[in-house]
Structures are given as structure tokens and as C-alpha cells.
Structure 1
Amino acid sequence: MALKIKTREIEYTAADGAKLIGYFAAPETDAAVPGVIVAPEWWGRNEYTEQRARELAEHGYAALAIDMYGGKKVTTAVSDASAWMMQTFEDPETIVVRAAAGLNTLAQQQEVNAAKLAAIGFCYGGKVVLDLARSGADLRAVATFHAALAPKAPAQEGKVKAEILVMHGELDSMVTLDDVAAFRQEMHAAKVEHEVIIFENAKHGFSNPLADERAKANGVDLGYNAAAEKGSLDAMYALLDRQLKSKE
């Protein structure tokens, strides 16, 4: 049964000076609960990201949908999304600095047990949370959906604290199976506990019901897959429950 939840926006500032606005959701409970940051697709911190945060809250987690662009900018146009995303690549530290600001902000909320933190991310947001994990952030679990997998810098042995779950579409033309193989090699080399799940007949964006609409409007190879969406979310919750609820 879904828990009753509360939501609010939280303004915070990253170390690079970016003024960011997160969307926070938590169950209505007096006890502090595990926290999860939700990193958005390249469209920005939109309703889809906020929906995933609310779902996490209904499952007993406090969640913060983080803002990576500032001022909670959102778009449905690839031209804008690409430009904003590339701006966060100009300085190699930007992604981790802004994601870490989101994680710290989540941990500071009174509803959150700061000893039990995780991160999930979609597409661009998947890269965000993987790079955050690679930086040595205090995370127990990371789950990604159709993520960009190439690292800012490869994971180093002993630095990654999180158990990592990567969920990828077999037919993803933006992140190839060769990219997945390279990611696995990186994780093995750094001795990181990880799992990769490949969903058959799934394209990039498979978890987002609006993927087909975005694909048609922008001429890009995205596609929604209901079976992959359900399977990936089930796997994510299994990881979070194991790492955040069943362990002290």
C-alpha cells in the first residue's frame, strides 16, 4: 500500500555557485527514513523526475529530484537539452559538484537518515549518479536507467562505496552494448560490486512513457517499453530495499 506523502521544493547552492531547486518528497512519518537522490534526464528536473521522487516516498524513502542546470530549467527540445547538458561538461568537476550539493541537501533534511543514502538516475542523470559514485560519495546503492556510462575518470579500486545496478536497453543506439562491456570492465578492474541488466527489445529512454512522443518531436531514437520500465523499477526497489532497509 502506498504511503501518504508530503512534498516541497528546496533551494540550495552548489560549490560552483549554481542556484539549484530540488523537489523533495517523503512519507508522512516521524521516523527518519533512507534518502535517495533522483537525477534527471537531459530534459531537466521535470514532472517525470518529480513523479519518480513521489513514488520513492510512497515506498518509504525520502527522495530529492535534483536540479543540474539551475533554476529548475526544463525543456522538451533536444537542442536546448543538449546545450544545457554540454554546459555541465565544460568543467569536468561540474557534474559531481552539483550532484554532491543535491546529496548533501537531501542528507540535511530532518526526514532523512543520513547514514542510509542512495542515488538513481535516468539517461544523463545516470551518468550523473555514476560519476558521483566514482567520486567516492557516501552512497550505499546506485541504480541507473538507460544511462550514459562513459566515466569522467575511471573508477578507482576502494573508492566506490555503492553497490551499482545498471539497466540498459538491448536496442539502445545512443549507448551501445560495447559501451556496456567497457563499463563492466571498468567495474571489474575497480572491484566494484555491480550488476548490469539488459532488457530485450528496449531502446534508449525505455522507462519514460513520453519517450515515443519526444522521439517523434525531435527525430531521435528513443522508445518507451512498459515491460522494461516495470522490470527496471522492480530491480531498483529490490536493490534499495536490500541496501537501505535490511542493513544497519
Structure 2
Amino acid sequence: MAAIKTREIHYTAQDGSPLIGYFAAPETDTPVAGVLVAPEWWGRNEYTEQRARELAEHGYAALAMDMYGDKKVTTNSDQAHQWMMQTFEDPDTIVNRATAALNALAAQDEVNADKLAAIGFCYGGKVVLDLARSNAPLKAVATFHAILSPKAPAQEGQVQAEILVLHGELDSMVTLDDVASFREEMHAAKVEHEVIVFENAKHGFSNPLADERAKANGVDLGYNAEAEQKGLAAMYALLDCHLA
């Protein structure tokens, strides 16, 4: 496990929003591949930062991105929904803010800007999928219990990344019909992709706090440790294949 360093990075979206990312990287003199981490709808919280640190320990530089501005976070689903929906009001907001984060990541001295990838959780899964659909220079994208519906369907030749979607069979927020539609979109655009569906896994299966959040907010979430570990293993296999 690599020794790591962390810091906050201030950057600005195209719309002028002040964003604050959390950067983690291994202690090394050689630039390494960079991975964006897009948060669940709760915002750039400790869970997102933890995933960035894990990536750094694995040998990658990682930036946990801020999608709401001023690193706003909440544990209240109504507030999270409000902030998330604000990023849908202008159809370009999500890709613009994600692109700003990708540029901030690529600009760090520790990062090899020729080797970039992105991962996302829940709402953050949609963020990185839409970023990939925008022809962003990504080698790989992995999502956990992502919102799969696109801003606009992927177009042939406009997705550079290989895409891995990790989905829970019991996800009531993103249905298996949604998964089927996503597969059709990827096939139509000739995107290299894989979808793994985990049995007995709900929305939020990768987050150990999912059950607590579900109980507090009356939403259908659930943690599944087996699905989390299998999903992370598949994610790291994808990243190591494309970024090593």
C-alpha cells in the first residue's frame, strides 16, 4: 500500500461556480494515472474522499469532485434531491462541471494527463457516464448503482472510454429495464462496455452507510458488502488494464 498525500484543490466551472475537489496521490516522483471520483447525490463527502484515498493507495492520483459548489454536503435526501435537480436545469451543467474537474485533475504535477479515468456512484455515475458520452479523454469509466439515463445518447465514435456498469438487481431507483436501455445505447454506439448485475443488491450497495441513510430518509437503499467488494475488484481490474 503506497504512502499518500492529500489536499484540496479549488477550481472553477464554466458557469463560474466555485468548486473544491479533494485530491489524493501516492508519494512518488513519477507522474501517475489520474482517476476522477464523482459523488453520490449527498455531495463530496467523507465516503467520496475515502474512495479517492483508496485509489491513491493503489497507485493512482484521484480527485473527488465537487458537483454542487463550495463542497456542499448533506445527509438529508430532500436537500440532496434539490441540489441534484439544480444541476439538471441547464443541460450542460453536469458535463461542464465534470470537465472542469477533469481538467483540474490533469493539471496536477502528480498526474500523467495521458492516462485518465473516472468512477462514479449513484448520481456521480450519471456524471461520469455523461462525461464519457461527451468525448472526454478517458481510458475507462466505472459506475456503481448509477443513474443510467443520458443527457443525450452516446454517439458512435464519441466515447473513448471502456465502460463498466455495476448494478444491483434489487435497485428500485434504476430498474433492470433502465439497464436494458443502457445496453442498447452502448451497442448502438459501438462502445466497449460491460454490465455486471449483483444479486440481492439495492441502490447504494457500495456504501456502508446506505442502511442508515435509508432509515433516516425513508428511501430504498441498502449496503451489500459482497457486491461492494466484487464491484471494487472489477473496477480495479478495469483501471489496471487501461492505466497501467
For residues 14 and 89 of structure 2, the distance between their equivalents in structure 1, rounded to whole angstroms, comes to 16
Query: Size of the alignment, in residue pairs?
Result: 244
What is the deviation of 1:192? 0.1
Supply the distance in 1 between the matched residues of 2:132 and 2:164 (Cα, whole angstroms). 12
Structure 1: unaligned runs, 5 residues or longer: none
Match of 2:107 in 1: 108
Q: Supply the distance in 2 between the matched residues of 1:190 and 1:142 (Cα, whole angstroms).
A: 16
How do 1:100-139 and structure 2 match up within 5 A?
100-139=99-138
Name the amino acid aligned to 1:40: P
CA distance in 1, matches of 2:6, 2:152: 35
Partners in 2 of 1:200 and 1:231 — Cα distance?
Answer: 12
- Deviation, structure 1 residue 63: 0.0
Structure 1 runs of 4+ aligned residues shifted over 4 Å read none
Instruction: Provide the alpha-carbon RMSD of the alignment.
Output: 0.2
SS of 1:115's equivalent in the other structure is strand
**What is the rounded CA distance, in whole Å, between the counterparts of 2:158 and 2:219 in structure 1?**
36
How many Å apart are 1:92 and its aligned residue?
Answer: 0.1
Q: CA deviation at 1:96?
A: 0.1
SS state of the match for residue 8, structure 1?
Answer: strand
Give the aligned partner of residue 96 of structure 2: 97
Identity %: 81
Secondary structure of the corresponding residue to residue 103 of structure 2: helix
Query: Is the partner of 1:132 in helix, strand or coil?
Result: helix
Residue ranges of structure 2 left out of the alignment (5+ in a row) = none
Q: What code does the residue aligned with 2:172 have?
A: S
So what's the TM-score if we normalise by structure 1?
A: 0.98
The Cα of 1:203 is off from its aligned counterpart by: 0.2
TM-score (norm. length: structure 2): 1.00
Query: Corresponding residue for 2:165?
Result: 166
Q: Could you tell me which amino acid in structure 2 is paired with residue 32 of structure 1?
A: P
User: SS in structure 2 opposite 1:106?
Assistant: helix
| 1:208-223 correspondence to structure 2 within 5 Å | 208-223=207-222
Structure 2 partner of 1:79: 78
AA in 1 matched with 2:10: E
Q: Please name the residue that 2:29 is paired with.
A: 30
SS of equivalent to 1:239? helix
Structure 2 CA distance for aligned equivalents of residues 181 and 219 of structure 1: 27
Match of 1:190 in 2: 189
